[in-house]
A and B are shown apart, each in its own frame.
Chain A
């Protein structure tokens, strides 16, 4: 029976694939205990970048929009978590709150946003990001304003690290499954031609809404973990443009719309950042600028 044996082969492959994954998880959990705090912080940052890049890819790669609002959900998650921790709630509850807030926010925002296309969509999402930062610093009686909000110290750094590891593994797995699922196919058909997709019975509006939700929730969780890790949130950083741009660059650098592309992009870019920011610290924004120009010119040649 070919179907049965096919299934067996697939199960076997899955089992084989699990071995290196388990090894990787064990190594990632062991490294901080061996090499100490610097390695933990570096790996934590990379794990968050992987999460951000892959969740960005759902809208920016699979759906193919130029999307600059990813930082909005990062900031939303960061502030929700920070406020919950400030009122001495446990970290897990704070993260659940952040995810529960990001979900309806993404669903609501998708209604006006996806009326727009192309460059105007990009501008509108950028505007939303700036608006989020402005709103947070305006509500100063609640969020601490532009000066930011200090949190109680982080007593269990290994917990945040493990949570970041779990989150990034879940996002990588979910993205891998998404690429192979019906919804993933619907996403890429919507990217290729909306009219064609509609004509074969795909509800494009719903697909886009789901995509935004799928990309928003991990971003909010990453924001929450980041807030816990550094125990400080400030609008200029939580809603900073870099939280949108870094995932965008990581996603577009190699091959958007695949799992390995953004994953590898995140690894490369975080390594480059670690190297450049420690050697030439005043070169922070220009690195992004040069990469953006490079990607833009590359795309101009292709299209």
Chain B
């Protein structure tokens, strides 16, 4: 493999990894604050991707506003979902919350999948590139990929800034680090977790927009994608957003690199097998010391 091919692969891998990272960060946000493993995340992503494609088809001028609007609508949808379905299981400690929430979000994933299948007759969605391809020496960089890469970086930076600099971000971090202490100093668990869930859903919607610009989307994509990202989140342990981010990027790169010698199907198989092996090897997370494993025990 020469250098140009390698760079090309690395770039594609980082783009796929960027989507994984966005999905994983959204899920880690929920997992850190709520101890919630959200299986419906990918369902929201696919729904947003199909919505975006419909907007592209019927109202091409609305592409830019919809880029802001669709995540906002999905944030509202996430808030509603949380209020109606998941809030009732909040009063328990997060350990007891895991199983019912898993059942609820799995059910939601099915409803979202079938909803997408019913609303759109076509089973695939994909967008044609809007931007010109840029050529750097022997490396071809499609314009839409470049735009997506930049946007992903901007979004991650904004999220990091929100978490570290703003009051609501601090509340969220406090709650994820020490729920009892945070509640004692007057942080409303309901409100903060609702905000976290809404943010995560908005992130899923944005990841969906990126996905449909880069690859083709099918309604059945949601659950496998969510599962991969959830594995990353559990392996990286709760309490960090940089680890799932890095994990997502690494998984995307690895999958793209494996796809060249083995083909896409085997690359997918190998990456899931690898994640499962990691999970069974260190169930409490790769970076977590033994003493703090309580969260995963039910």
Contacts and interface: CB of A to CB of B under 8 A. Distances in A.
Nearest to B31: A119
Nearest to B36: A119
B296 interface: yes
Contact of B99 (A112, A119, A294): A119
A70 B271 CA distance: 22
A293 B37 contact: no
Interface in A115-137: 115-120, 122-124, 126-128, 130-131, 134-135, 137
Contacts of A293: 85, 103-104, 107-108, 111
Contacts of A131: 269, 272-273, 276
A186 to B, nearest CB: 20
B174 to A, nearest CB: 24
Contact of B114 (A120, A138, A282, A291): A282
B275 A127 contact: yes
Contacts of B110: 285-286, 288-289, 292
Contacts of A282: 114, 117-118
B122 interface: no
Contacts of A138: 265-266, 269
B280 A113 contact: yes
Most chain A CB atoms below 10 A, which of B110, B268, B272: B110
A295 interface: yes
Given A118-B99, A127-B272, A138-B265, A289 B283 contact: no
Interface in A137-166: 137-138
B254 interface: no
Contact-size category for B: 35 or more
A59 to B, nearest CB: 14
Interface string B120-154: 00000000000000000000000000000000000
A296 interface: yes
Given A115-B283, A118-B99, A126 B227 contact: yes
A182 interface: no
A117 to B, nearest CB: 5
A130 B113 CA distance: 17
A241 B107 CA distance: 12
Interface stretch (B49-57, B70-78, B87-95): B87-95
B231 interface: yes
B109 to A, nearest CB: 7
Contact of A300 (B88, B223, B279, B283): B88
B229 to A, nearest CB: 11
A301 interface: yes
A283 to B, nearest CB: 8
Most chain A CB neighbours (cut-off 10 Å) among B102, B117, B118: B102
A123 B103 contact: no
A296 to B, nearest CB: 3
Nearest to A291: B107
Contacts of A288: 107, 110
Interface of B: 37, 85, 88-89, 92, 95-104, 106-111, 113-115, 117-118, 223-224, 227, 230-231, 234, 265-266, 268-269, 272-273, 275-277, 279-280, 283, 296-298
